[in-house]
Structure 1
Amino acid sequence: MTGFLPREALRVCLVANSRFPIGEPFTGGLESMTWHLARELVRRGHDVAVFAGAGSDPALGATQLGVDVLPDPLRDDLGRHDVDAAPHVQVAEHHAYLSLMLELGGQDGERYDVLHNNSLHYLPVAMARSLPMPVLTTLHTPPQWWLESAVRLDRGAGSFAAVSRHTAAAWSAITPSACVPNGVDVDRWPVGPGGATAVWSGRVVPEKAPHDAVLAARRAGIPIVLAGPVLDLAYFREAVAPLLGSEATYAGHLDQSDLAALVGGSAVAVVTPAWDEPYGLVAAEALSCGTPVAAYARGGLPEVLTSATGRLATGGDVDMLASAIGDAMTLDRGQCRAHAEAALSLERMVDRYEDLYRQLLRRRVAA
């Protein structure tokens, strides 16, 4: 590493989530962030290797994490009699990351200057000190016990970034982290004309609470369109589907361009986390389209918005959210776009990660 120059191209190993593909249509913000980061790093001239789940965008040239191994029906049935047997998916995921870490701990790891971990798995964190390159892990969630224990196990070998000041503060008792807000590609989320409906986008799961968005829009007197992957079918059937009708429709899991057109053609974006949202990428995407936001003030979401670009309501207060929807619809769409370009862009995010990569390398050289 002694020949490292501060501004030269880097060899970056990106480790992604193994459960969901890194490609469109994105399952969530983590997958979107990793895909955009990889593409932008390549555009800037870096050599990027991506390790990701099956079905990831072929243009990334990603190496699949693990091998799809179906359990033997007989052995699997016999194993069910052991109540302590680990679920097949968890074992497969563990082995996928273990195999990768063992490979990178040998000569394969010498090919990279830095490893950037964007998975939610504990092994890339716990095994950071066994690797020849510095490891940066982005914290995409509030503290989870399996990651907390991994952080303690790595004995300070790894470094961390958090997607918001809120998330960094939540992790502060466990590990320090740099704040690197997720960025949105403003070219792929162009300004739209607005419209007469509200929009909600994201994973259709209880912690995102789209049913609250429907109820609030109904009380605000505006139709709403929901879009996103249904990852909890029971929740969708029990809490969301009964609310659908002429004034609340489900558009499905849209690809990025269709989703951008929907968001840009809406009067207001509604964001309804029932948990402390680590960041709130859907809000940043809406602002890039010029669409103001009405949201629950949970987690990192208040960091995404300003008084000129959105209105906040107390988490779970549907009446207050309905009022916020009405107020947000009056905000200037040009100011929403300007805020996204100045403070929430992909370029700003990748600039910060490049700086962190080089800081880690300089620290390694000096050690």
Structure 2
Amino acid sequence: MTHALARELVDRGHDVSLFAGPGSDPALPVELLDLPEFEPSEVAMGDVNAPSRHWMAEHHAYLSLMLSLAGGEDRRFDVVHNNSLHHLPVAMARSLSVPVVTTLHTPPLPWLESAIALAPDTSSFVAVSRATARAWSHVADATAVHNGVDVTSWRPGPGGGPAVWTGRLVPEKAPHEAVDACRLAGVPLLLAGPMSDPAYFEEQIAPRLGEGATYVGHLDHAALAGLLGHASVAVTTPAWDEPYGLVAAEAMACGTPVASYARGALPEVVAPEAGVLARPGDVEDLARAVLAARDCDRAVVRRHAELHCSLTRMTDEYERLYADLVDRSLAA
């Protein structure tokens, strides 16, 4: 989301600086802010309560950024948009002279709740769905801005092929239930995504493969778009309250209807004309949804994605938010 938003803002004529970890896309047309490195001493790390080196590296990076901004670097910018899950950008927002907006991408996290409690009015908050906004409502008043996908990259395809499940193969996304549901429905299924939990894959996925269920590996975006474009239906099986449901938006942008459990934000993302929702955790009901969703008009599904799930729509909303924050800051 951050990558896509930054690229779209630059295309619209904005000057964008990005603070991100090593391995970020070097071709992204933004100014990359320096990421300071820090190696704690062996004496410090020998303390029985010392955090991990990874935790310390992230802490040092965010502390360096916020101190730099508070020291006057923030005057280069009109607004700071925080997409991280770290507490320091929220806790230190009051030290900046420009507005800070934080997008909440996950259910509530204790360290972010703590930061918000100590600095409740110094950052504006956006949530990636109304469901996520409700989940945070006890500590933050967040405006909902749905995520968006680049519908020029996720192009419509002919459909007619097997069902497809995409995403990380982990217990909280329950792809094994997609296999069971499609088998009940008599619909072949292709699974695509990184094997992020090898133990789960070996225990729950591998024994279910065969008999119309195939794992096709971890695909790049182009290959994944092609797979989705040829699918008759995309299946999503969240075993948790999905904050947004990006895989559903990607599928609908390819014209592929969605059969999904009605959990988290998916009832907001998947409109009745673009898919069919099933009772959460009910494999038999999901099998019904798989069969019913295949009857959706693919052109209508694509149009829904263009209107409601596009990167253009998301960026329009963030542009309006930035402008409002800057106007209010200037008027203060």
Shorter-chain TM band: over 0.9
Partner of 1:202: 167
Partner of 2:228: 263
CA distance in 2: counterparts of 1:201 and 1:157, whole angstroms: 38
Residue-pair matches, total: 330
Say if 2:2 is the partner of 1:34: yes
Where do residues 1-367 of structure 1 align in structure 2 (5 Å cutoff)? 33-60=1-28, 61=30, 62-63=32-33, 65-67=35-37, 75=42, 79=46, 82-245=47-210, 247-367=212-332
CA distance in 2: counterparts of 1:222 and 1:305, whole angstroms: 21
Task: Give 5+ residue unaligned stretches, structure 2.
Answer: none
User: How far apart are 1:155 and its partner, in Å?
Assistant: 3.3
Instruction: Report Cα offsets for 1:34-78 as digits up to 9, x if no partner.
Output: 111011000000000111111111112434644375x88xx4998
CA distance in 2: counterparts of 1:126 and 1:254, whole angstroms: 38
Would the alpha carbon gap of residues 149 and 197 (structure 1) be closer, same or farther in structure 2, given more than 3 Å must change?
same
Q: Which amino acid aligns with 2:257?
A: P
8 Å contact from structure 1 (residues 164, 180) kept in 2: yes
Bigger Cα displacement from structure 2, 265-274 vs 240-249? 240-249
CA distance in 1: counterparts of 2:36 and 2:261, whole angstroms: 38
Would the alpha carbon gap of residues 198 and 64 (structure 1) be closer, same or farther in structure 2, given more than 3 Å must change?
farther
Would the alpha carbon gap of residues 67 and 237 (structure 1) be closer, same or farther in structure 2, given more than 3 Å must change?
farther
**Per the alignment, in what secondary structure is the counterpart of residue 267 of structure 1?**
strand
Would the alpha carbon gap of residues 106 and 255 (structure 1) be closer, same or farther in structure 2, given more than 3 Å must change?
same
8 Å contact from structure 2 (residues 151, 253) kept in 1: yes
Would the alpha carbon gap of residues 83 and 214 (structure 1) be closer, same or farther in structure 2, given more than 3 Å must change?
farther
User: How far apart are 1:320 and its partner, in Å?
Assistant: 0.8
CA distance in 1: counterparts of 2:131 and 2:53, whole angstroms: 34
8 Å contact from structure 1 (residues 54, 64) kept in 2: no
User: How far apart are 1:230 and its partner, in Å?
Assistant: 2.3
CA distance in 1: counterparts of 2:194 and 2:138, whole angstroms: 34
Q: Which amino acid aligns with 1:67?
A: E
Task: Give 5+ residue unaligned stretches, structure 1.
Answer: 1-32
Q: State the superposition RMSD in angstroms.
A: 1.8
User: How far apart are 1:131 and its partner, in Å?
Assistant: 1.4
Q: Which amino acid aligns with 2:271?
A: T
Q: State the identity as a percent.
A: 61
**Per the alignment, in what secondary structure is the counterpart of residue 16 of structure 2?**
strand
